Structures are given as structure tokens and as C-alpha cells.
């Protein structure tokens, strides 16, 4: 067993106020092992950044947490409850997890407001007035109140991505998963979406983000997890993982990132 694998798997001991916990999670697609032995603990009000090469399993990990993929082995806990237990109520679990992906996935034929209130009204059975009041309050907070009645194609990419974030927040989730939410945006729009994430952090939202924006991960994350070959090879505060990586493979990954100019910020 390598040092890296020893640190993976079960992860640190469960602490109070832990929102998410992965224990020895294994996920394969056909014969390919994507997550081998992943352990991760996400404390309440903290931001965890998943970094790693393309194909290292960041999106897969998030899809497993949101139960879009079924894990082959191990366990995932949300607020101490095992959500990968076959008896868990998947819809109830998803209601507690907000997800935003790289592509905003807004419905083009619905206004911003209807996009946001669709799930609260259908899934959470909130009344229209209540759902719209909450949506407008969130839009206001993200500087989008004027866009409530617009259709998505009349919005910039950054605005659409912020609407997708509002939509994920509309149900009042316990945990927010943000998967490469700036990858499709040009640099100016990246800034406005990242400042929303900063605000959410200040408000105490617990988040897991995957990003290739290392400067941002360094700034916003409380812990950084480097995924490599199916395990969390290295994890720690950003100063340590970026400033003094312990594993050769982390160092190699980061030097490639520096070479591509993505570690500033």
C-alpha cells in the first residue's frame, strides 16, 4: 500500500458538523476503475475543492454524491445518514443537495423565474407565491432581479450560470456541488460567477467544487483534494497542497498547471 492510498479510503475521523462523508468509495464504468478508494470529509460551512487531471473522476465523484451514479462499494453519508443505502429515499436526498454543472442546463422555453421555481413547485411542493418570492430574493442577491422575466438566451453566459446557481439554491440545500461552473465562460464572466461563490462561502454555504482554476481554489477553498488514479492522493489546506505538496504526482500535476498559466490569481 502506498502512502497515498493509506491517506485515502476512510478519510479523517467523523467530526461534529460534518455535512458530507465518503468512505472507501469505489466506482467503475465497465472494466474501468474511476474511483478506487475515495475517502473525504466535508465539514459544515466549508469549501472543498477537487482538483486533478481531466478524467481523474471529479465529476464522477459529484455524480455519485448526488446519486446520479450508483457506487460499486463504500458508503456516502449526508448529515450522518447513509445515502448510498439502497433503502434511502433518493428524491429526498437530492432535495438536500444543490448541483450546478458546467453547462447551465436552463430550459430555453421558460423564463428565468420559471426555471428557478420549477423544482420547488413540483418536487418540493412549495406554493407558486412562496417559490417566486424566494426566487426573486435570490435573484436580487445575485444581481439578477431585472432578468426574472427574461428567457435564458437573452442572458450572457455568466448571467445564465448565476441563474443556474440561484436554481440550485432555491430549495435551500444543505450542500452545493459546483462542477467546473466557469469552464464554459470567458475570463470576465468567470469573475462574476466566482464572486457569487465567494459570497456563498461568506454566508456559510457548504460546498464541494471541482475546478481547473487553481488560483480560485487556493483563495476560496478550506481544503483541497487532489484526485489521482482513483484516490484522494493528497489533501489539506490550500497553502499546503499548493505551496508544499507532499506527493511527487501532486508536484507534477501542479507544475503542468503552472506551465499552462492557471495557477495565478
Ligand X SMILES: Nc1ncnc2c1ncn2[C@@H]1O[C@H](COP(=O)(O)OP(=O)(O)OP(=O)(O)O)[C@@H](O)[C@H]1O
Pairing of strands 175-179, 206-210: parallel
In the set 56, 182, 206, 223, which binds ligand X (CB under 6 A)? 56
Nearest to 72 by CA among 27, 34, 115: 27
- Strands ordered across the beta sheet of 81-82: 32-43, 18-29, 73-78, 81-82
In the set 8, 34, 220, 232, which binds ligand X (CB under 6 A)? 34
The beta strands (E) that lie in 201-245 are given as: 206-210, 223-228, 231-236
Binding mask 119-148 for ligand X (x = CB under 6 A): ------------------------------
Binding mask 14-53 for Mg ion (x = CB under 5 A): ----------------------------------------
Alpha-carbon distances of 99 from 64, 107, 167, 217, 250, rounded to whole Å? 12, 15, 9, 18, 27
7 near ligand X, judged by CB under 6 A: no
66 near Mg ion, judged by CB under 5 A: no
The stretch near ligand X (CB under 6 A) out of 51-59, 78-86, 165-173, 243-251 is 51-59
- Angle, helix 112-122 to helix 128-141, in steps of 10 degrees: 130
29 near ligand X, judged by CB under 6 A: yes
Residue with the closest Cβ to Mg ion? 59
100 near ligand X, judged by CB under 6 A: no
55 near ligand X, judged by CB under 6 A: yes
58 near ligand X, judged by CB under 6 A: yes
Residue 211 CB, nearest approach to Mg ion (Å):
10
In the set 46, 48, 56, 59, which binds Mg ion (CB under 5 A)? 59
52 near ligand X, judged by CB under 6 A: yes
Closest CB to ligand X among 19 and 181?
Answer: 181
Mark 200-228 as b/e (b = at least 16 C-beta within 10 Å): bbeeebbbbbbbbbbebbbbbbebbbbbb
Pairing of strands 231-236, 223-228: antiparallel
Nearest to 214 by CA among 252, 164, 178, 262: 262
The values of phi and psi at residue 193, to 5°, are: -70, -40
How many residues belong to the site for ligand X (CB under 6 A)?
11
Using CB under 6 A, list all residues that contact ligand X.
29, 34, 52, 54-60, 180
Amino acid at each position: 500500500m502506498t502512502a497515498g492510498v493509506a491517506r485515502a479510503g476512510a478519510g479523517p475521523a467523523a467530526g461534529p458538523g460534518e455535512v458530507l462523508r465518503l468512505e472507501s468509495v469505489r466506482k467503475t464504468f465497465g472494466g474501468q476503475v474511476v474511483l478506487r478508494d475515495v475517502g473525504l470529509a466535508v465539514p459544515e460551512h466549508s469549501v472543498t475543492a477537487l482538483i486533478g487531471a481531466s478524467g481523474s473522476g471529479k465529476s464522477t465523484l459529484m455524480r455519485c454524491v448526488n446519486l446520479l451514479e450508483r457506487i460499486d462499494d463504500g458508503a456516502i453519508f449526508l448529515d450522518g445518514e447513509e445515502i448510498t443505502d439502497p433503502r434511502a429515499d433518493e428524491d429526498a436526498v437530492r432535495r438536500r443537495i444543490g448541483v450546478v454543472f458546467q453547462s447551465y442546463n436552463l430550459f430555453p422555453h421558460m423564463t428565468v423565474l420559471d426555471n428557478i421555481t420549477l423544482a420547488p413547485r413540483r418536487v418540493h411542493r412549495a406554493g407558486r407565491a412562496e417559490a417566486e418570492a424566494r426566487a426573486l430574493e435570490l435573484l436580487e442577491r445575485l444581481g439578477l432581479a431585472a432578468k426574472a422575466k427574461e428567457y435564458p438566451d437573452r442572458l450572457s453566459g455568466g448571467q445564465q450560470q448565476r441563474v443556474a446557481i440561484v436554481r440550485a439554491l432555491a430549495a435551500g440545500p444543505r450542500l452545493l456541488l459546483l462542477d467546473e461552473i466557469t469552464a464554459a465562460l470567458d475570463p470576465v464572466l468567470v469573475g462574476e460567477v466566482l464572486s457569487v461563490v465567494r459570497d456563498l462561502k461568506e454566508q456559510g454555504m457548504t460546498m464541494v467544487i471541482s475546478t481547473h482554476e487553481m488560483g480560485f481554489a487556493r483563495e476560496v477553498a478550506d481544503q483541497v483534494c487532489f484526485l489521482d488514479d482513483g484516490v484522494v492522493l493528497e489533501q489539506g489546506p490550500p497553502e499546503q497542497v499548493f505551496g508544499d505538496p507532499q506527493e511527487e504526482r501532486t508536484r507534477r500535476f501542479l507544475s503542468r498547471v503552472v506551465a499552462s498559466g492557471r495557477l495565478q490569481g
